[in-house]
Amino acid sequence: MQFKKAHFVTGAPSLDVCPEAYYPEVCLAGRSNVGKSSLINAMVNHKGLARTSNTPGKTQQMNYYLVDDKTYLVDLPGFGYAKVSKKERERWGRDIRDYLLERPTLRLVIHLVDIRHKPSKLDEEFFYWLGTNRLPFIVVLTKGDKISHNKCQQSKARVKRILDEMNIEVPIIISSVKDDVGIDEVKELISEFTQ
């Protein structure tokens, strides 16, 4: 499937300054450098739309992109970034929690985890928190091109075990923006959840 056009709308540091809650929206969460911007760019087939870089923590606000004049994709600030102060991290947690719990148009959370790494404690806490609050979410395991097919499957099974233990059943998708793997599947789920 195709997302035909997309543009950057605004960056919002907190819920009260988000754009009017009008279009259904899907947000991307995960630690800094996990590949959120790259996934957005790959889905809309526009390399420079969301900024990508090797500098973790560059985005400290929620970046809104409007896709095909009908869906907002929201790039959330990466969590667990060590270089910001504890106070800032706490404020981040509150702002994002407010957004996730109170945004009336939010339809889906995409939680990204680097396929090479075991989900961190923060990732696991986030899975549990999303499950407890009954927020619809999917897990995308990024950078699938960086390890073998077998290792990818092992990593997926590990995430599934963690979610099973929490009694959470959600799609787990392996992606690679380099090899164009999983991108269509994520887009299909986005359109399903935002219809």
Q: Site residues (CB under 6 A) for ligand GDP?
A: 32-38, 52-54, 78, 142-143, 145-146, 176-178
Instruction: State the minimum distance, in angstroms, from the CB of residue 24 to ligand GDP.
Output: 22
Nearest-approach distance from CB 161 to ligand GDP, in angstroms: 23
Q: Maximum distance among all alpha carbons in the chain?
A: 45
Task: Output 50 or 108, the one with its CB closest to ligand GDP.
Answer: 50
Is 33 in contact with 180 (CB distance < 8 Å)? Answer: no
Q: Which amino acid is at 86?
A: K
**Residue 59 CB-half CA count within 13 A:** 29
Q: Least distance from C-beta 137 to ligand GDP, angstroms?
A: 16
DSSP string, 120-135: PHHHHHHHHHHHHTT-
Output the smallest distance, CB 111 to ligand GDP, in A: 12
Residue 131: CB minimum distance to ligand GDP, A: 22
Measured CA to CA, the distance from residue 174 to residue 129 in angstroms comes to 22
Q: Is 28 or 108 the residue whose CB approaches ligand GDP more closely?
A: 28
Using DSSP bridges, classify how beta strands 106-114 and 137-142 pair: parallel, antiparallel or unpaired: parallel
Task: Please identify, using beta-carbon distances, which residue of 21 and 156 lies nearer to ligand GDP.
Answer: 156
Q: How far is the CB of 13 from ligand GDP (least distance, A)?
A: 17
**Of residues 30 and 71, the one with the C-beta less far from ligand GDP:** 30
Gyration radius of the chain over CA positions: 16
In terms of CB distance, is 52 or 194 closer to ligand GDP?
Answer: 52
Nearer to ligand GDP, 15 or 42 (CB): 42
What 3-state DSSP class applies to 180?
coil
Alpha-helical (H) ranges within the chain are: 36-44, 86-102, 121-132, 149-165, 183-194
Q: Is 19 helix (H, G, I), strand (E, B) or coil?
A: coil
